Structures are given as C-alpha cells and as structure tokens.
Chain A
C-alpha cells in the first residue's frame, strides 16, 4: 500500500500541521520519533486536542503530567490557535482526590488561555455522573473568541466574561449554570442547550451585543433577558423541565402559597417582562413551549412591539382558551411577513389549557399585520384546534388565501372557506 518514496514528509508544512491538529495530542506529539524531519512539527500544530484520558493507565492522574508537559513545551513557541479538552474521568478506577483533580484540570484552562488560544472547548465526563466544577473566578483573555463548555458546573465568577473582550461565540451544553448572572459585553452568538438553571431564582442574562440566540430544552426557571439591540435571530424551546408552571393549572398568578410555580415567580408587579422583552429586536424568531409555561403569556402584558420581526414560528404555547399570544403577535409585529404555527400534536395538552380562565385584556386594533404574506400551519391533521386557529386568524383580518395547511401525513391544504359557528 505504501508508495516507495517518503512523500508525506515532503508535504507543505501547513498541511502537516493541519494533520497534526486533527490528532489526539498524544498521537501528535509522538510523531516526533517518526523521522528526523518530524522531530519538531508537533510544536507548531495550531490546534491541540486533549482527548480520551481514560485510555491512559491511571486515567486523569497519568494523563495530567502529559497535559502539563505539552502546555509547558508550547510556551514561547508557535502560538496555539485552538485547544480542545475532551476528558473522561472514571471514579470507579480507584480512590480519587476529586478537589485536587479539579484544581489541576481548572489550571489547564487558564494555562491554555495564556497560550493565547482563540478557541477553547472544554468537556469533562465523569463516571458515575457528576458535574465538573469550574473555578469560581472570571476567565481572562484578550484573544479568546470562541468558547464551548460541556458538562461542567458554572458559577457567578466564571460566567462573567467581562475580562474576555474578544469573546464572540459561546456554547454551553449539558451544564449546571449555578449563577444568578451571566454577562459578556462582546458576545455575538450564544447557544445554551440542555442546561440546568436554578429552580427558584431567575438568572439574569446580560449580552448587549448579541446577534443570535439559541435557548433550547433547558431546565429550571426561565431567565431574565436584558435588552439586546443587535439581535437578529432567536430560537427558543422549552420542553418539560421548567419550573414556571402553575400547580393549579393557571396562566396567571394563582395566589396559592403552596404553589411553588407561582410563589417563586415574582409576578408582573416586581418585574415587567421576564423573557420576551429581551428578544424584541429580532427579525427571525422561533418560540416554542408547552402551553402550561405561563411566562410568555404574562410577558405579553408588558412587552413592547416586535418592530423588526419578519419571520415567526410559534410552537404549542400559543394554543390557549383565547389564543391571546397568537393575537398579540398579529397586532404587535407590524413588519411580519411569514408566520408558521405548530400546534401541539397532543390534543390532550391543548384541551386542558382551553379550560383555564384568567383575566385577559381585550383586543386593541382590529387590523393585523399588513405585510403578512403567508401563514403556514403545520399539524398532524386538521382537527378542532386547527379550525379554532383558522377562526382566530380570520377574525383578525388574515385573508384565507394567505393561509396554508401542511399535514404530517402529507396532505397540504389551502383554505377556501370558513364556517362561522
């Protein structure tokens, strides 16, 4: 299979560095013994991946000196562009001094930052399942532009990114946030997925330069969003794991001291808008939650208009007794061009919420979104809920020819007529 000549060693240096950057760090460094010309290539690889320490006999303890050695060796040499820590720690392998291990591993992050990395990814999987605790101190780097944290436990210190003035991209996945505040003056792109927030405190999120925001399937209380004047796109989805639901099934404050959902809400008297006001500059918004999440409905009482919004996707939560949320958007998104509605596939969920009552404000203007080109309803089949939606759209001035229905069993409909009953 091998060709006669040693052609790989003649490849351009940039290519060799690229190949080394794709290897786990231990394989990259060990290429130093392949041949004379390979002795020092690993020192200039722009990216280093620390991966799979369980494979090392003794796990993270023997892996430790390797990481220390490599970070030392890279001092003063070619700059390190990106660093990827993908560590697995198996506590069953023997007695572990977890705090000591955490101190050492935390120091690796700061040392990587001192190597002037622009991109840092940090993931620790501990078996049996335990989140890795980050040091309670802000990260400081003039170079860091992209940070990804997976399966770690945060704190107020580390989630204050004011000492990372170049940070533009942050992704947090499967993390325990553990902070009442998150802040970055420079951040443009934020993705928070499968993370855990406090169940009885709202985390304040301050990202004044944010352009895109993904907030998907997180648990705990809905965070408080500060204003984001440069925001363009937002994708928000709440699945089952939020605390902002009323034990008594109401969408307003039930007043029952035994109901944790409402008791820890701090209703519209204390804050105005919790979440939706922060998103009002968006041009593209996807907003999906089960109908018992009461935050959106409460927020809409206070929320200013979405004056730039052009495309909107609403999932599940807008189905309620009076479709208040849907109607609100029809009247408060003057530039809206495309609206997509995805009612819940579960009729049971919808029916329960249809029965709840509350004090709702009456409608304001009768004429809705004049720029609207199409309303698309994506559903399982054309059931009672869909018919209700059609009535609401019709009653709010949306002409039938703009409405399209797409059923998951493949049928598409265009509306021609509506019975008023």
Chain B
C-alpha cells in the first residue's frame, strides 16, 4: 500500500469530508488524511485545539515522527478511523470496518522488523494513539512472555552490562520471583 496520502486524499475530498495535513519531522513529507483518522491521535487533537481553525491550512508538523513511520502510523489510523467524523465522538463511534477484518489487519500490521516496531511504539506513545500503543506494546510483550532472559535479550536487541555476580545479586534480591 502506498503512502497514506494517496488513499485518503481520494476518499476524503470526494465525500467532502474535512481533511488534515500532517507533516513529518524532517519536513520531507506531507500527508493529507481524513479528520476522523487524524483525531485518533490525542496529540494531534490537542495541537488543533491549541492552534485554532486557521492553522490546519499549513499542516501540522510532528517534530518527533519521521516520514516513514508517519506513513505507517497513518495506515493504521485510516483503517481504524470511525466511518463518520464528528470530532468529539471520534473515539466513541465504531470504526467503519468489521471486527474480524480489523484483527486480521492488526496482526499483519505488526509483522515488521524490530526497528520499525520500536519506531511505531515510540510514535504511538508520542501521538497518543491508544489502539496503536496497545497493539505495539502487546506485540513486544508477546516476545517477552515465557522466554528466558537470553532469548529476550536476543529478540529485543538488549545488551546487558551485568557481570555474572551482579546478575546473581539481582536474582537474590528478588528470590521469590525465580
């Protein structure tokens, strides 16, 4: 799927629905998205409220999200956005797609390399997109569940500076957990 700009641009403007322009941190990409999709981000919502009605023309710059990550995030938002866009009800209204369809989408969406996953979880946290944050955190949690420390370090790319003695000390400190 091409960058969010393509798909949302067509759908949004043809139905006359309000769109919002989001700009990546390096200013390299501008994305026009349906308001309902953009408002899944509490951060964007706040920025719009603070800037007032006239600011949306220039687009909202997101200093902490690069173009590649923003494109992927907007893919999620477009899929999960409610069918109707009424700014206060955007959270409460159900998404346009069916439940099962969304679940399948989510599963596929997080099949990415660790670098991308980390970028997504960081972006979801900064942009305050609850659904995406839960999804990415759960994905990482699933990589930790039931694994040995060695396996976890390998999968998540964690480097440990613990000496064997230090590690023993930590284990003893929390002996009831081991």
Residues of chain A touching chain B, judged by Cβ–Cβ distance below 8 Å, are 1-9, 11-12, 14-15, 18-20, 22-24, 26-27, 29-36, 38-39, 65-66, 68-70, 73
Q: Which residues of A contact B146 (CB under 8 A)?
A: 27
Q: Which residues of B contact A24 (CB under 8 A)?
A: 145
Contact A3 B140 (CB under 8 A): no
Contact A33 B138 (CB under 8 A): no
Stretch in contact with the other chain, from B22-30, B69-77, B166-174: B166-174
Contact B137 A30 (CB under 8 A): no
Contact A33 B118 (CB under 8 A): no
Contact B145 A23 (CB under 8 A): yes
Q: Which residues of A contact B162 (CB under 8 A)?
A: 33, 35-36
Question: How many A-B pairs with Cβ below 8 Å?
Answer: 104
Which residues of B65-96 are within 8 A (CB) of A?
none
Give bound CA distance, A5 to B113, whole Å. 13
Contact B149 A73 (CB under 8 A): no
Distance in angstroms from B72 CB to nearest chain A CB is 16
Give bound CA distance, A37 to B125, whole Å. 20
Sampled A-B contacts (23; CB under 8 Å):
A1-B114, A2-B154, A2-B155, A7-B157, A8-B157, A8-B158, A11-B121, A15-B121, A15-B137, A19-B141, A22-B137, A27-B146, A29-B174, A30-B149, A33-B162, A33-B167, A34-B153, A35-B158, A35-B159, A36-B160, A66-B176, A69-B175, A69-B176
Interface of A is mostly: helix
Q: Which residues of B contact A39 (CB under 8 A)?
A: 170
Q: Which residues of B contact A19 (CB under 8 A)?
A: 137, 140-141, 144
Complex: chain A residue closest to B126, CB-CB: A12
Distance in angstroms from B177 CB to nearest chain A CB is 4
Q: Other than the known A11-B121, A30-B178, what 18 A-B pairs have Cβ atoms closer than 8 Å?
A: A1-B155, A2-B156, A5-B157, A6-B157, A6-B158, A8-B118, A19-B144, A23-B144, A23-B145, A27-B145, A29-B177, A31-B144, A32-B177, A35-B159, A35-B161, A66-B176, A69-B175, A70-B177
Give bound CA distance, A342 to B162, whole Å. 66
Contact A3 B113 (CB under 8 A): yes
Contact A32 B121 (CB under 8 A): no
Contact pattern, B 88-130, Cβ under 8 Å of A = 1, otherwise 0? 0000000000000000000000000111001001100100000
Q: Tell yes or no: B55 within 8 A of A by CB.
A: no
Q: Which residues of A contact B173 (CB under 8 A)?
A: 32
Complex: chain A residue closest to B140, CB-CB: A19
Q: Which of A5, A9, A11, A70 contacts B176 (CB 8 A)?
A: A70
